[in-house]
Amino acid sequence: MRSPSAGLVEDSSSARFRPVRDGTPLGATQPVGGLQMSQANANHPDPNAGTGPDLPGQGRHQPVMVGEVVSILSPVPAGIMVDATVGDGGHAAAMLEANTRLFLLGLDRDPAAIVSASRRLERYRDRVALEQLSFDQLAVAACPLAAAKGLPVTAVLFDLGVRSDQLDDAQRGFSYRHDGPLDMRMDSTQALTAADVVNGWSESELASLFAANGEGRFCHRLARAVVAARPLSSTTELAQVVASALPASVRREPGHPARRVFQAVRVAVNSELEMLRPALGEALSLLAPGGRCVVLSYHSGEDRIVKAVFKEAETGGCSCPPKLPCHCGAQRRARLLFRSSRRPSALEVESNPRASSARMRALERLGANESRLGS
Ligand SMILES: C[S@@+](CC[C@H](N)C(=O)[O-])C[C@H]1O[C@@H](n2cnc3c(N)ncnc32)[C@H](O)[C@@H]1O
């Protein structure tokens, strides 16, 4: 079976960012596009954000739980902050403003995000490098930059999922609210599209995919309906097939009836879950002692992976009985900054419904002399 997923649910010719492999900061000699973030916003970042469920037009992407991200990451030692999903640069701008001793490396798979972030971060150009890259290649970009600058990596942020302008652009095919092609690729140079998944996967593969994304008892019914309606070419067609396959009582429930199927297909197209575990592992390996990692996830499949990776870093994989001294020699690598995930405030969700499904987890990397269990 192919990669089931889990849980709920610009003109690139104008891209004037520079690759970072030589450690050269953004815009050192080349200008970048006009800054879109106002002075007021840069100093007082909007405490809201958005990514999760596909909700009606929200305008520009608002960074989720930005106040919390800034308060957790600001105290880190001077060094490089990797924003593994820089998007429009909302979190990145807030962090550059809050901690002037950080150099920011921003990654994103989507070339349009790099263009957008380069514009928004123009005023910080001497402290920013951007690269169009998937975060499972984080070390490929961060290691040469750290070596060239002689700086440790002291902060990593993953703000998972999609951003508002990806959802709101019908041609990207992410949204059941807009009629567009079945695309859903974050990186448009990638071969696999949503049409390939929807029209090419077997009924049982689709059923497993839908089951893993919360469709439970309806997964077979949905898969059968999709297979019977093939070939499907547009988001509207897929949304209609899904809606008509569900019982009327389920269609009346809050939220669009096709939301989980769309999320399942998106996660599969972009291999979102497969990439997350190794990327988190790389991030933890790169972090210097005292460095911190924050992850914002938007569905339970993502959060389960983050929780498991963080727990393993905290316990060092210790197999000794709880509450007894450790004898297995496990070395813990990190401490959790809070045990349960944190959620956005009701106020934030009210002003930015796309933040509603966000869960935040954070850890701090330990030094070698702190890593024995019980220390
Ligand atoms: C929620 S948005 C980030 C928004 C950003 N924090 C901001 O303040 O504007 C998520 C971004 O992650 C990017 N993304 C998703 N998967 C990725 C991956 N594997 N590697 C790099 N970027 C990825 C998406 O293209 C999208 O721009």
Helix (H, G, I), strand (E, B) or coil at 130: strand
In the chain, what is the greatest distance between 2 CA atoms, to the nearest angstrom? Answer: 61
The set of protein residues with a Cβ atom below 6 angstroms from ligand 1 is 51, 61, 63, 85, 87-91, 107-110, 113, 134-135, 159, 161-163, 186, 275
The neighbour count for residue 137, using CB atoms within 10 Å, is 16
At 270 the three-state DSSP class reads coil
* Crossing angle of helices 272-286 and 300-315, rounded to 10°: 30
Query: What DSSP string runs through 290-355?
Result: EEEEEEEE-SHHHHHHHHHHHHHHHHTT--SPTTSPP-S--B--EEESSSSPB---HHHHHH-GGG
Ligand 1 closest atom vs CA 163: 2
315 has pLDDT over 80: yes
State whether the Cα torsion 214-219-222-226 is positive or negative: positive
Tens of pLDDT, residue by residue over 141-186, are 999 999 999 999 999 999 999 999 899 999 999 999 999 999 999 9
8-state DSSP, 123? G
Neighbour-count burial of 329, counting CB atoms closer than 10 A to its CB (0-12 exposed, 13-18 middle, 19+ buried): exposed
Rounded distance from Cα 251 to ligand 1 centre (Å): 30
Closest CA to 230 of 249, 251, 256, 202: 202
Check residue 62 and report its DSSP letter. Answer: -
**pLDDT attached to residue 16:** 34
Ligand 1 site-directed mutation target among 41, 132, 163, most atoms within 8 Å of CB: 163
Percentage of the residues of the chain whose pLDDT score is greater than 70: 83
- HEC readout, 70-87: HHHHCCCCCEEEEECCCC
Banded pLDDT at 3 (limits 50, 70, 90) = very low
CA 349 → CA 269, 297, 344, 345, distances in Å? Answer: 28, 15, 7, 6
Nearest ligand 1 atom to alpha carbon 271:
19
Q: Is the peptide bond before 321 cis (omega within 30 degrees of 0)?
A: no
**pTM for the complete prediction?**
0.85
The DSSP element (H or E) to which 165 belongs, if any, is helix 164-168
CA 231 to centroid of ligand 1, rounded, Å: 30
Quick one: which atom of ligand 1 is closest to the CA of 88? Answer: 9
C-alpha of residue 373 to centroid of ligand 1, in Å: 35
Distance 168 CA to ligand 1 centre (A): 15
CATH code that applies to domain 12-165+272-370: 3.40.50.150
Q: What pLDDT, on the 0 to 100 scale, is given for residue 331?
A: 86
Task: Using the mean position of ligand 1's atoms as its centre, give its distance from the Cα of residue 163 in Å.
Answer: 7
Q: What single string gives the DSSP state of each residue in 196-207?
A: HHHHHS-HHHHH
Nearest atom of ligand 1 to the alpha carbon of 116: 9
pLDDT digits (tens, 9 = 90+) for 126-151: 999 999 999 999 999 999 999 999 99
Q: What angle separates helix 259-269 from helix 203-210, to the nearest 10 degrees?
A: 110
Q: Say which CATH class 191-269 falls into.
A: mainly alpha
Q: Which residue has the higher pLDDT, 13 or 327?
A: 327
Question: Is the pLDDT at 191 greater than 50, yes or no?
Answer: yes
SS3 at position 20: coil
Rounded distance between C-alpha atoms, residue 117 and residue 254, angstroms? 34
C-alpha dist (Å) from residue 307 to 159, 292, 319: 15, 15, 17
Q: Give 17-64 pLDDT, tens digit per residue.
A: 444 444 444 433 233 333 322 222 322 232 223 344 444 444 568 999
- Which pLDDT does position 253 carry in this prediction? 87
d(CA 281, CA 155): 14
The minimum-distance atom of ligand 1 relative to the CA of 51 is 1
Per-domain boundaries in the chain: 12-165+272-370, 191-269
Query: Order of strands across the sheet with 153-159?
Result: 128-132, 102-108, 79-83, 153-159, 287-297, 359-365, 334-336
Rounded CA-CA distance 375/373 in Å is 5
| Among protein residues, the one whose CA lies closest to atom 9 of ligand 1 | 88
Q: Which residue out of 109, 128, 189, 359 has the highest number of ligand 1 atoms within 8 Å of its CB and is therefore the one to mutate?
A: 109
